[in-house]
Amino acid sequence: MIANITTGKNAYGILNYNQLKVNKGKASVLSTRLIFEDPDGKYNVSKIAEEFHNLMPECIRTEKPIVHISLNPDPKDEIDDELLVTMAEEYLDGMGWGKQPYIIYKHTDNKRVHIHIVTTQVDITGRKINDSHRNRRSVALTEELEKKYNLHPAKERKQETLWQLKPVDYHRGDLKNQIAAVVKPALTMYRFQTMGELRALLSLYRIGVEEPQGSRAGRPYHGLVYTVLDENGKKAPVTPLKASSLGDDASLKKVETILASSGAKIKAANLHKMTLHHVEEALIVASSEEELRKRLKTHHIDLFLRRNDQNRITGVTFIDHENRCVLNGSRLGKEYSANTFNERFSVAKETRETSCQVKKESNIKLKKR
């Protein structure tokens, strides 16, 4: 079982996200503590958000009092609602949040049935509940629950020992072996449908991809070479490496086979829906590119943005390391395309700059007084 934890300033956004799933019949409320439903048996997002706020003291000593948790059992685990609630409560108790107000949602919108929990992390004095070594404690708790209820171990804990992909460092030399140590396992594990998606994936490990084309002795030529990138993503001053020199497992033929088969595999396993679920969730509360990257990281997803010379976003790609697939934003929907992201982050930047300017002018006026 995989646990992901994020924190926020207010509860409305994440509550609304979950309630929209409920309204579409893709989620349900399993349990609550100190949160009450309306007389008609439904939950009102605004009222719940207000209840969370009212249950916190006026003076809060943390910037982000709201906690959002997702607990994700293995798809092969068959767990009824009663056990889901029991595990959620035991997890909250173990993390120190068991006495807090909370609401537990069950999501059924992808292959993996999972739960979302919205709660708070401040005590009655307004102090933040101790969260030291939070991630380490969370992993220990999920492992304990797996053993106690005979669940399948978390997938990434099995996989992370299979491959250790490290970024290429051209200063170290031995580039052929460094590149092979990334490219071969990456082509074995990941699914992608375009060369652009492959470039996005390999760029994480400072490897570029080029396709030289031309003719030799009157015959057309189409090749594949791997280049090395520096710390800034620019081409390093080293000789590119022909894919053929790394063997069949890194060849153009291997890449073309993956390009031809990945679409059907991604669709059959609903991998794009799993990635979309996490992207939707992160975008609800992320007000900047930096925060979006941080929140996606909690779900083991990297965000790759291509920009032109004017710093305008021209491409968006999500690299999902849990589901091992690479997806251009447009595959998830037009609201995840380059144009949408460009507008979103431009507006967010302008808002922050305006806010800073207003604050600066206000401080100047105060000094004059």
Domains in the chain: ranges and CATH: 2-156 (3.30.930.30), 170-268 (no CATH), 272-354 (no CATH)
pLDDT of residue 238: 93
For residue 262, the model assigns a pLDDT of 96
Q: Read off φ and ψ for residue 79, nearest 5 degrees.
A: -125, 125
pLDDT at 148: 95
Query: What pLDDT shows up at residue 155?
Result: 55
Looking at this protein, which amino acid is placed at residue 207? I
User: Is the model's pTM score more than 0.85?
Assistant: no
Q: What is the pLDDT of residue 221?
A: 81
Predicted local distance difference test score (pLDDT) of residue 79: 95
Q: Which two tokens stand for residue 276?
A: 């979309």
315: its two tokens: 């491409």
Tens of pLDDT, residue by residue, the chain (369 residues): 989 888 888 899 899 999 999 999 999 999 999 999 888 888 999 999 999 999 999 889 898 999 999 999 988 899 999 999 999 999 999 999 999 999 999 999 877 799 999 999 999 899 999 988 898 899 999 999 999 999 998 754 444 444 458 899 998 888 999 999 999 999 999 999 999 999 999 999 999 999 998 887 778 888 999 999 999 899 999 999 999 999 998 999 999 999 999 999 999 888 898 899 899 988 988 888 999 999 999 888 999 999 998 999 999 999 999 889 999 999 999 999 999 998 888 754 544 444 445 444 544 544 455
pLDDT at 201: 97
